[in-house]
Amino acid sequence: MNSAPRTQPVDPQGKAPASGVRVPIYMDNSATTRCDPRVVEAMLPFFATDFGNAASRNHAFGWRAEAAIDVAREQVAALIGAAPKEIVFVSGSTEANNLAIKGVAEMYAGKGRHFISCVTEHKAVIDPLKHLEQMPYAGGPGAEVTFLCVDRQGHVDLEALRAAIRDDTVLVSLMAANNETGTLHPIEAIGRICKERGVLFHTDATQAAGRIELDVEAQGIDLLSLSAHKFYGPKGVGALYVRRKSPRVRLAPLLDGGGHERGMRSGTLNVPGIVGMGEAARLARDGFATEVAHLRTLRDRLEQGILRLAVGAVVNGDPSARLPHLSNVSFPYVEGESLIMGIKDVAVSSGSACTSASLEPSYVLKSLGLGDELAHSSIRFSLGRFNTEAEVDHVIGIVTREVTRLREMSPLWEMFQDGVDLSKVKWNVH
Ligand SMILES: *Cc1c(COP(=O)(O)O)cnc(C)c1O
């Protein structure tokens, strides 16, 4: 999902607060989050004071950097129930997903070249898989990938997953939580199926971290991707969890070089970034219950307010198995682009993605069975740690007023209100 184009510059201090609420209001926390001030504080010494290279083994500058990395590695591991040695620091989830998928492909080419994933995955999973389909690798042909379909709520059929696993399947990659709809995959059940069949299980947990419980042991996960900027850490740093026993997962690296991160990710470690990610993970773990309750309260208030005032609006995804901070709502009989333009004071994502020339409806929403029109008229609200109840109430007002205004100009809305079943209308197309 792409954020809607904004004509007005973002002023972090906000405009004069008429209603006590500063605009623009940020509700796009699935795109990125504001760095928590405590994270920034933790990072600062590592730019100009403790600036050593964590790989410098023979002086105190290096030792201090290394000690800070060790702490961060423990903090990130603790967030997902892993051991510190199983954490490989990378630049973000795009890299973590690429390393998991391409690293397994090359290392396990002797076992097979078949992968299983899903049509609603993030592009950072789909595109590396498509790359493997196109490119011969490890002295053999390209990969074969089965992309499972989803139902109306965004769920994969576990029997279809079971049936798709073959003797030459090397990896199943299914995300923990979807970034557009918030739908949660039953990762524990998926982990069990993969284990039964001796197939590695990778999950993109970028949206899940800090918002749902993650435990690589209980959930049978072999590889897991994280990105700090999605949970109040800095951009440009992430981690891949790589299981070390039962089974020990081996990966071919994407980058060759100094052999950092046990040979899986060469390159001087981003010490301030990693320290920030560690602190963000600690905050996510320590404040988990409070944070989830806060997010759920705000999200439910927002959603109920919108559904009450914008009659006919529909929520996408699975309401009973969904991320606590996210609400994806379609507004029928409203032209999507006009809606996004009309609510400039609210920073959200739309159900349209910018391609080179045009606005394309979201492939995720289309996979759920939404038509192009409805996908275009969808909005993803994703709340965060720093949102308030007053902001939610302000946003309900802005959005529902605009929906009402646009519907008043829509002949389709008029017909719908007159009881015309629009799916049965025979349109006169010239
Ligand atoms: C944001 C996101 C990514 C990409 O993460 P980066 O760290 O920005 O590369 C991958 N997968 C999902 C589900 C995401 O939400």
The rounded distance, in Å, linking the Cα atoms of 132 and 55 is: 33
Average pLDDT on 211-229 reads 98
Q: Which amino acid is at 239?
A: A
- pLDDT of 347 > 90? The answer is yes
Indicate if 44 and 129 belong to the same structural domain: yes
Domain extent for 358: 6-34+288-417
Q: Which of 178, 184, 230 to mutate to test the pocket of ligand 1 (most atoms within 8 A of CB)?
A: 230
Average pLDDT over residues 235-251: 97
Instruction: Please tell me the distance from the alpha carbon of residue 365 to that of residue 369, in angstroms, as a whole number.
Output: 7
CA–CA separation, 110 and 147 (whole Å):
22
Pocket of ligand 1, candidates 32, 35, 76, 94: which has the most ligand atoms within 8 Å of its Cβ, to mutate? 94
Same-domain pairing of 245 and 269: yes
Nearest atom in ligand 1 to 178's CA? 13
In-domain check, residue 430: no
Q: Span 338-354, mean pLDDT?
A: 90
Residue 5 pLDDT level (bands cut at 50, 70, 90): very low
- What is the tens place of the pLDDT at every residue in 131-163? 999 999 999 999 999 999 999 999 999 999 999
Q: Let me know whether 335 and 196 are in one domain.
A: no
Considering 268, 286, 304, which residue would you say is the last residue of a domain?
286
**From ligand 1's centre to the CA of 184, what distance in Å?**
16
Question: Rounded to an integer, what distance in angstroms lies between the CA atom of residue 11 and that of residue 241?
Answer: 37
Q: Give the number of residues written for the chain.
A: 430
Buried b (16+ CB within 10 A) or exposed e, 121-151: bbebbbebbebbeeeebeeeeebbbbbbebe
Position 267 in a domain: yes
Cβ neighbors of 231 (< 8 A, separation 6 or more) are 33, 209, 210, 211, 280, 281, 284
Closest CA to 77 of 267, 240, 254: 240
In testing the pocket of ligand 1, which one of 3, 227, 363 has its CB within 8 Å of the most ligand atoms?
227
Which residue in 287, 348, 296 sits closest to 324, CA to CA? 296
pLDDT band at 411 (very low <50, low <70, confident <90, very high): confident
Considering only CA atoms, which residue is closest to atom 5 of ligand 1? 93
Closest ligand 1 atom to Cα of 31: 1
Domain with 413 in it: what CATH number? 3.90.1150.10
Last residue of a domain, one of 263, 286, 309: 286
Share of the chain above pLDDT 90, in %: 86
Quote the CA–CA distance of 367 and 107 in Å, as a whole number: 32
Co-location of 112 and 248 in the same domain = yes
Residue 3 has pLDDT above 70, yes or no: no
Give residue 410's pLDDT.
84
Distance between CA atoms of residues 183 and 322, nearest Å: 5
| Ligand 1 atom nearest to 124, measured from its CA | 10
pLDDT at 408 over 60: yes
Q: What is the pTM of this model?
A: 0.94
Tell me the CA–centroid distance for residue 230 and ligand 1, in Å: 8
pLDDT, mean of residues 176-196: 98
Closest residue CA from atom 10 of ligand 1: 93
Q: How far is the CA of 175 from the centre of ligand 1 (A)?
A: 11
Please list the residues that pair with 316 across neighbouring strands: 328
Residue 426 in any domain: the answer is: no
**In-domain check, residue 428:** no
Q: How far is the CA of 207 from the centre of ligand 1 (A)?
A: 8
- H-type alpha helices, 209-309: 271-286, 288-309
Residue at 309 is within a domain: yes
Which residues does the annotation mark as catalytic? Answer: 354
Q: How many domains does the chain have?
A: 2
Taking CA atoms only, the protein residue closest to ligand 1 atom 12 is 206
Q: Whose CA is nearest to atom 3 of ligand 1?
A: 93
Q: How far is the CA of 137 from the centre of ligand 1 (A)?
A: 25
Q: Are residues 95 and 198 in the same domain?
A: yes
- Distance in Å, CA 239 to ligand 1 centroid: 12
User: According to the model, what pLDDT value does residue 356 have?
Assistant: 63
Q: Are residues 238 and 94 in the same domain?
A: yes
Among protein residues, the one whose CA lies closest to atom 14 of ligand 1: 206
Confidence of residue 335 (pLDDT cuts 50, 70, 90): confident
Structural domain includes residue 150: yes
pLDDT at 9 over 80: no
- Within this chain, do residues 24 and 120 fall inside the same structural domain, yes or no? no
How many Å lie between the centroid of ligand 1 and the Cα of residue 227? 7
Radius of gyration of the chain (CA): 23
Alpha-carbon gap, residue 1 to 178, rounded angstroms: 12
Within a domain: 423: no
Percent of the chain at pLDDT exceeding 70? 93
Q: Assess whether 256 and 299 both reside in one domain.
A: no
* Centroid of ligand 1 to alpha carbon of 232 (angstroms): 14
In a shared domain, residues 274 and 366: no
The answer on 17 and 161 residing in a single domain is no
CA 287 to ligand 1 centroid distance, Å: 22
152 domain-assigned? yes
Looking at the CA of residue 227, tell me the nearest atom of ligand 1: 7
Q: Show the ligand 1 pocket: residues with CB < 6 angstroms.
A: 92-94, 122, 124, 175, 179, 204, 206-207, 227, 230, 238
- To test the pocket of ligand 1, the residue of 32, 183, 206 to mutate (highest count of ligand atoms within 8 Å of its CB) is 206
218 & 332 share domain: no
Contact 79, 209 (CB under 8 A): yes
- Among the atoms of ligand 1, which is closest to the Cα of residue 121? 13
Asked if residue 254 and residue 206 are part of one domain, the reply reads yes
* Residue at which a domain ends, from 228, 260, 286: 286
pLDDT tens digits along 98-133: 999 999 999 999 999 999 999 999 999 999 999 999
pLDDT digits (tens, 9 = 90+) for 28-52: 999 999 999 999 999 999 999 999 9
The token duo for 309 is 């005032």
Average pLDDT, whole number, for the chain? 93
Find the CATH number of the domain harbouring 256: 3.40.640.10
